[in-house]
Amino acid sequence: MIKNKINYSHRKYVIGSIFILVAVILLIKLFIIQVVDDSYKLSSESNTLRYITQYPSRGKIYDRNGKLLVYNDAVYDLMIVPRQAKNIDTAAFCKLLNISNETYNNNLKKAKKYSSITPSIFIAQISKEDYGRIAEVLYRYPGFYFQTRSIRQYPMPIAAHTLGSIGEVTKPEMERDAYYKLGDYIGKSGIEKYYENKLRGKKGIKITVVDVHNREKERYMNGACDTLPVPGADIILGLDADLQAYGEYLMTGKTGSIVAIEPSTGQILAMVTSPTYNPNELVGRMRGNRYNELLNDPDKPLINRAISGTYPPGSTFKMINGLISLQSGVVTVNTAYPCSGPESTPIKCTHYHSSPVKLYDAIENSCNPYFWYAFQDMMKAPRFKDTKEAYAFWYNLVTSFGLGRTFKSDIPFTVPGNIPKMEYYDRLYNGVWNAMTIRSLSIGQGEILITPLQMANVAAAIGNEGFYYEPHYIKSFGDSSIAIDSTFITKHVIDINKRHFKDVKKGMQNVFEGQHGTARMSHIDSITVGGKTGTAENPHGLDHSILMAFAPVENPQIAIAVVVENAGFGSTWAAPIASLMIEKYIRGYVKRKNVEQKVLTINESVE
């Protein structure tokens, strides 16, 4: 059988055509790369181009009245590309930079370790004056160039803890956010940290052509490949700069804190912690050294006592217990309890006064036995089946004031304080306990601990007659399209009848205006103030002087808490400071210079 022969000769033309087509495609692609598309030229000539990061202007920070609190000032980072840094006259270069040869070698080694071809900072934050002198001759030193940066400046040296600071980004921070590169700055604390993403803006890039002498010749492609930086958003705080400055002035030489809140919004008007420091001290190349000095200072100026200091609230807590007793139904404003002064048992009174006492007089005189009896009756109320059910009722209402927890706020590093849970007493007393066992809670002692921020918030809640907003710094952003967190405008309503708040407010007004009021010496003419003094026991030394207040009584514009550590009675130290702050905020100035002078002259006596 004869097989048919297949003719394969025509396939050579098909294969040849394919090779020709591929060659044509490659030629066209080569033409595009070399002639049409300059982006490939950008890559191929990277050794003659310099990519300079254009850092955005960080957002400025203002107070509630438009006063500038934080702005930017230009500095210059000396950058290095190690592979290009050749034939350097190190002796002349070190003299130019005013550094040692050892510093030069260490910095060079560090830069090479990071990358031999990627720019990194050789010396950070060179001043404008030094920049002009160095830039004039920098062309002599290949591989080095300047990059413009900015540092924060504080025209008013106040509110260091609130504003916070910025510092060089760490490796973990770079790993968490790809935006940051070695040498970048990031918010480290306070407002700078919490609102970092809003304040930082967006980086740009500038590409320049550099000759063999390290001199910039021209913008690559006339800047067509550059990107512009986007400035960060400005921030307006609820802070009143004048009130903040005045509070820091009054607290000079003392240890403690002041927190003032606008009750109608929850915005922080002032947050003073003492001792403090000038925020300009943590700026520039010496930031690290100065931070370590502050860290090792025995007075602990880096601690923000307003948010992390915890104290027994003492008699200021009686207002909460009074409200809960009224809400339980076992006490009315006309319920009277006996007081035998210092002979009273099981809780004695600090002084003699008329007896028996009702609610208004008990608040005015700060009568310990009254609040103990009211607490005891509440814990034994017929509406509760046992002590533990009564305690759960008490605990839930106490914590509804924002105690025993941290606020969901832009105030970082707050602490919860302590409102003891039922389980704590079950463990401590093997499940067997009653009102007598925990009687110290009735007068704000025992295991109760609160922060000055929480105390000011309690004052705001009472002033508002039963509601508050989470205390927060932010008022608005400079860019109106950016909304503040909805958490900050969510009202927290306390499940206590409004009429009980009115009754307690009346008693608190008597503290400043009554004949026997514990803060009567701090009364302010034409401004009604409701408040409560406190003297918190301190196992480590003298008692703490405490006061919480709000003003005016009918429509509060300010709620305030003052703690002066190891200073004794609340009426002696905290009350006049709080009244001066209230007067300063509402009037805009202080008339009672005699009270101010007294506060200022006691600085050394309370250290």
Rounded mean pLDDT of 528-539? 87
- Same domain for 417 and 366: yes
Both tokens of 470, joined, read 């989470």
Low-confidence winner among 32-41, 199-208, 333-342 (lowest mean pLDDT): 32-41
Domain boundary among 237, 261, 283: 237
Chain segment 430-462, per-residue pLDDT in tens: 999 999 999 999 999 999 999 999 999 999 999
Is the pLDDT reported for residue 286 higher than 90?
no
What percent of the chain lies above the pLDDT cut of 90? Answer: 71
Say what the pLDDT of residue 147 is. Answer: 86
Chain segment 544-582, per-residue pLDDT in tens: 899 999 999 999 999 999 999 987 766 788 999 999 999
Identify the band that residue 607 occupies on the pLDDT scale cut at 50, 70 and 90.
very low
Say if 358 falls within a structural domain: yes
Label residues 381-398 b or e (16+ Cβ within 10 Å = b): eeebeebbebbebbbebb
- Same domain for 270 and 142: no
Stronger pLDDT, 62 or 16, i.e. the higher one? 62
Say what the pLDDT of residue 571 is. Answer: 75
CA–CA separation, 548 vs 545, rounded Å?
A: 11
Say if 109 falls within a structural domain: yes
Say what the pLDDT of residue 68 is. Answer: 97
The enclosing domain of 160 has a CATH number of: 3.90.1310.10
Q: Which of 23-27, 238-242, 291-295, 590-594 has the highest mean pLDDT?
A: 238-242
CA–CA separation, 203 vs 198, rounded Å?
A: 13
| CA distances (Å), origin 479, targets 24, 187, 193, 244 | 55, 20, 19, 25
- Same domain for 252 and 233: no
- Same domain for 211 and 151: yes
Say if 48 falls within a structural domain: no
CA–CA separation, 425 vs 76, rounded Å?
A: 60
Both tokens of 185, joined, read 């700055």
Domain that holds residue 66: 54-83+91-237
Q: Answer yes or no: are the C-beta atoms of 439 and 346 closer than 8 Å.
A: yes
Say if 24 falls within a structural domain: no
Is the pLDDT reported for residue 533 higher than 90?
yes
Say if 49 falls within a structural domain: no
- Same domain for 440 and 588: yes
Domain boundary among 222, 237, 252: 237
- Same domain for 168 and 314: no
Identify the band that residue 468 occupies on the pLDDT scale cut at 50, 70 and 90.
very high
Chain segment 206-246, per-residue pLDDT in tens: 888 877 666 677 778 887 888 899 999 999 999 999 999 99
Low-confidence winner among 111-120, 197-206, 310-319 (lowest mean pLDDT): 111-120
Say if 431 falls within a structural domain: yes
Cα–Cα nearest to 548, from 442, 450, 460: 460
Is the pLDDT reported for residue 406 higher than 90?
yes
Say what the pLDDT of residue 2 is. Answer: 47
Identify the band that residue 326 occupies on the pLDDT scale cut at 50, 70 and 90.
very high
CA 522, 528, 532: angle at the middle one, nearest 5?
Answer: 55
Domain boundary among 199, 219, 237: 237
- Same domain for 216 and 271: no
Say what the pLDDT of residue 38 is. Answer: 53
Is the pLDDT reported for residue 595 higher than 80?
yes
Is the pLDDT reported for residue 336 higher than 70?
yes
- Same domain for 247 and 204: no
Number of H helices, E strands in the chain: 21, 18
Label residues 200-228 b or e (16+ Cβ within 10 Å = b): bbebeebbbebeeebeeeeebeeeebbee
Chain segment 34-50, per-residue pLDDT in tens: 555 555 454 444 447 87
Mean pLDDT of the chain: 90
Say if 18 falls within a structural domain: no
Cα–Cα nearest to 368, from 405, 327, 328, 317: 317
**Domain count of the fold of the chain:** 2
CA–CA separation, 144 vs 397, rounded Å?
A: 65
Rounded mean pLDDT of 355-373? 95
Say if 223 falls within a structural domain: yes
Verify cis geometry, omega within 30 degrees of 0, for the bond prior to 313.
Answer: no
Is the pLDDT reported for residue 122 higher than 80?
yes
The enclosing domain of 312 has a CATH number of: 3.40.710.10
Identify the band that residue 393 occupies on the pLDDT scale cut at 50, 70 and 90.
very high
Cα–Cα nearest to 149, from 205, 208, 207, 73: 73
Chain segment 469-488, per-residue pLDDT in tens: 999 999 999 988 999 999 99
Q: Answer yes or no: are the C-beta atoms of 513 and 520 closer than 8 Å.
A: yes
CA–CA separation, 555 vs 578, rounded Å?
A: 18
Say what the pLDDT of residue 386 is. Answer: 93
Q: Which of 140-144, 269-273, 428-432, 562-566 has the highest mean pLDDT?
A: 269-273
Strands (E), 234-290: 235-237, 256-262, 267-274
- Same domain for 75 and 163: yes
- Same domain for 424 and 568: yes
- Same domain for 489 and 501: yes
Q: Answer yes or no: are the C-beta atoms of 349 and 340 closer than 8 Å.
A: yes
Say what the pLDDT of residue 480 is. Answer: 86
- Same domain for 510 and 451: yes
